[in-house]
Every structure is written in C-alpha cells, then in structure tokens.
Amino acid sequence: MWPFKPKQKSVSIYDLMIDAEDSAAVMLGMSEGIPVNVQPRLAYYLSERSSDLGNAVNMISSSLSGIKRGLKTGDNDVVYEHPLLDLLNAPGEGYSGSQIFKEISESFLLTQEAWLVARGNINREPISLTYIRPYDVNVVFDGSDGLPQYITTMSNRDRRTYYRDGSGPAMRFIDKLKLNEIFPIIGSVSVVDDWRGRSPLVKLFYDLKMSTDGKRHNVSLINNGLRTTGILSPKPMTEGGTSQKWSADSVTNLEKKLRAFHQGAGNAGNVLILSSPADLQAMSQNNRDMDFMALLQNSKESIYNMYRIPLPMVLSNAMTLDNYTTANRVYYTKAVFPIFDSICDGIMNTLGDRYGFDGNTKMTFNDASIRDLQSVMVENMRILKDTEVLAVNEIRAIGGFEGVEGGDEVLVSSNKIPLISVSTPISFSDTEPPDMTDEPIIDETVPDEQDDTSTESAPV
C-alpha cells in the first residue's frame, strides 16, 4: 500500500466565525492579518448583541422607511403616483410599505445586500412583493463566467430555485413556472466572489468585540463582587509556615456560602466571616486597573462613525442645542440620503425593468415629508430670501410649498444703490475750478421791527 498523506479539508473564508481570533496563534501574539469574514447571519447576530450597532442600524432604517418616495423623469418632473410606487407602498404578502422598506434597509446596512421577490407573470407588472433576508439566500456560481448559475431561497416566505435567464444588463433570475422573480440589490462588492455584498462589519470586528465582551466583563465583575478571581486558602498558623487543611466538606460549604452571600451587586460590601484565619490572593487585575469605560466609549464612536451618524445625536457629552441642531442636518445628508440613493438605484435597475423605465428615470424623495427637516428647510428659505437671487416661487419650492400668482419675480430691496456711487470719492481738478452757477443772493436777514412810537398821520 502506497504511503499517502490524508487530504486536508480546504477552509473557505466563509467558514471563519467571529471567534476565529481566539485561536492559540492569536493568544501567542501571532496573526496572519486576514480579516474575519462576516457572514449575513452573523451580521444580524452582531446587530442583536451590540446595542450601539443595533441602534445605528435602527436609526437609519427607520428614517428611510418614513420617506415619501417619488419618480423623477428626465425633465426633472416629480410624480408621486405610479404603479411602482403603489407596489412599494402596498406590497401585499402581509406587510406594509414601511415594513418592507425598513427590512431591506436594515439588510443593506448590515450586509450590503437586499433581496426582493416579485409575484406574478414575469412579463407584466408584479402583483405583490416580498423580501428575503440575505442569510436565506444561497448563490451557486458558474465556473466559466463567475456569474450566478442559479439562486435558491430557504425562507418561510419563499422556498424556490431561480435560474439565470439572459446575460448582461438583461440578466434575470426566474423560477421554472415563470411566476416568480428575485431581484438582488448589491452595494459594495465582496472580495471573495466579486458579486455578493461586502459587509461593513468586517472593519468593526474588534470594536464590536470590545462593545460586547467589555460589557460582559463589567457585568461579570458585578456578579463576582467586583473582583475578577483569586485564591482563598488557610492562613499559616505557625512561624514555620505550617497551615491547617480544609476538608472537602468545609470547602464545599465555603463555596456555597460565598456564592449565596458574597456575589452579585446586592451583596457588595458584605463581611466574610470564617471560623479560622484565611488568606485571599488576587490572581489578576480588578476593575480599577482596566478602564473599560474609556474603551467602550472608543468602540461606540467607531460604530457610529462607520455609519456617518453625527456623534452629538448619540453622545450625551456632545449633545448641546447648537450641536444637535447642526447634527440633525448632517445626519440626513451624510447617513440617510446616500443609503436611500443606493437602494433605490438598485430597485430601478432591477424591478424597474418590469415597468419599462429608461435610464433617465430616478427614484427621489419629498423633503417636506420628513418632519425632522422641516425646521432645516425653513432656515434654508430664510437664507435664500436674504440673498435676493431667487424668485418667491423658487424659495417656496425648496420648502415644499406650491407657487403663488406673481411669485416668479425676484424681489430686491428698494433702498439699495450701486456700490460705485458710494465707493468713488469726488475730486476736483486744480486747473479747472468747479463751475459755480451765478445765483441771486438773497438777503435772509430779518428787517428791524417798526418802532411803535413812529406813527404815520392819517389823512383828515
């Protein structure tokens, strides 16, 4: 029998879990520098475990679900009534429009993927719409071109196989009955297969572990009486170091007593009473030596910075009135609207083909429907009014108001004069004296009053 080596199992990057960093190599300080890949299911688990990550995702997805969507054509006309908009607002399948948009927004924020399934004849407008979470989607790639060969869904709402139909921009994924079609919406492309989404949680690996494990550490300190670990042993009774021994029953009773009366936040400060002297030797650091509060603060800032959420909206030490007002404006422009554009572009490039849209039609939103932006729009209108460069109706349109009759004129202040008339001083030439027009000199002196004693004799 020929000697041979057993075939080693190839490990895919998808097989790596978040606890892969806890291996012996990492404990010895060695690392290959390979990032831990975050699978879709793991991304959802991390969102449930980390309050900061879950709050960041919930903030943006909730803001996205409340936006009033519209369609903008090539001539910049916006319509808010269309069959596609009606389907997104009332998708059926037991979900409301806000629910399904919140779900796909959450999926996109965690995994850079969102999956929609449309029901009905594939050559007509869909009759209903539902979503599939990314961890319920399995993609089998074709080895020749690197594109998906077929896609299977394993959700309770949909268990089907969708086969690739067509190529290039016309590529679609349809089931055999041609009554269901799945639409992938992909953001950042994965570094593994160059097709699926690349989760941003890869960059937050250590921050998330610090957020979750650091809080578990602090809770463990509280449960253990604010001490990590130690050794409780009999104290030497003689000068030579001879000490007494505790029996097995004594150790068991002491253990039960410590767990019952000296562990947990409610037992902090209790006095330990023993029948014989004992020594307590600490084996590691206590909570004062490890400042986990500062580490938790750093991890929190990293999570919110990744999703571009202004820190004054989530950190109490920066939540002043001026900072919060400015942060509210930046929050929508930096954190919400870019995600809206990415998701809606994916919807128009996939689901929009069923409605015959061309590349010039985009999905937009109504700023006036966002309550948090109403004060911001009023401030923008005031600033534009002071500039005196826009017509009244143009300023009203920014605030979401309709135009009024006679509002197409630009209004300016009537008491303003050209700058040159006040900035150029008046100068006279030395050779040419000023032309002074001869005018009669009017004596403006008041004549003396007539003496009362001098009277003119009247004729007899």
* Phi, then psi, of 131 in degrees rounded to 5: -120, 155
Top-confidence range, 119-123, 167-171, 379-383: 119-123
Top-confidence range, 7-21, 32-46, 90-104, 370-384: 90-104
C-beta of residue 210 within 8 angstroms of C-beta of residue 217: no
What is the residue-averaged pLDDT of the chain?
A: 78
Q: Is residue 151 packed enough to be buried (19+ CB in 10 Å), middle (13-18) or exposed (0-12)? A: buried
* Phi, then psi, of 185 in degrees rounded to 5: -120, 110
- In the block, residue with structure tokens 């000199």: 441
DSSP H helices, 82-187, are 83-89, 97-111
d(CA 26, CA 301): 26
- Expressed in percent and rounded to 5, the helix, strand and coil fractions of the chain are 40, 15, 45
* pLDDT tens string 342-382: 999 999 999 998 998 877 889 998 777 777 776 777 777 77
Q: What is the signed CA dihedral for 209, 211, 212, 216, rounded to 10 degrees? A: 120
Query: What does the pLDDT read at residue 320?
Result: 77
d(CA 411, CA 28): 74
In this structure, which amino acid lies at residue 192?
V
pLDDT above 50 (res 9) = no
Query: What does the pLDDT read at residue 408?
Result: 76
pLDDT above 50 (res 14) = no
- Sign of the alpha-carbon dihedral angle for 294, 295, 297, 298: positive
Mean pLDDT of 23-42: 66
d(CA 22, CA 31): 11
164: its two tokens: 């690739």
C-beta of residue 129 within 8 angstroms of C-beta of residue 359: no
C-beta of residue 208 within 8 angstroms of C-beta of residue 48: no
| DSSP for 273-340, written as a single string | --SS-EEEEE-S--TTTS-HHHHHHHHHHHHHHHTT--GGGT-GGG--HHHHHHHHHHIIIIIIHHHH
Nearest CA-CA partner of 116 in 347, 337, 340, 364: 347
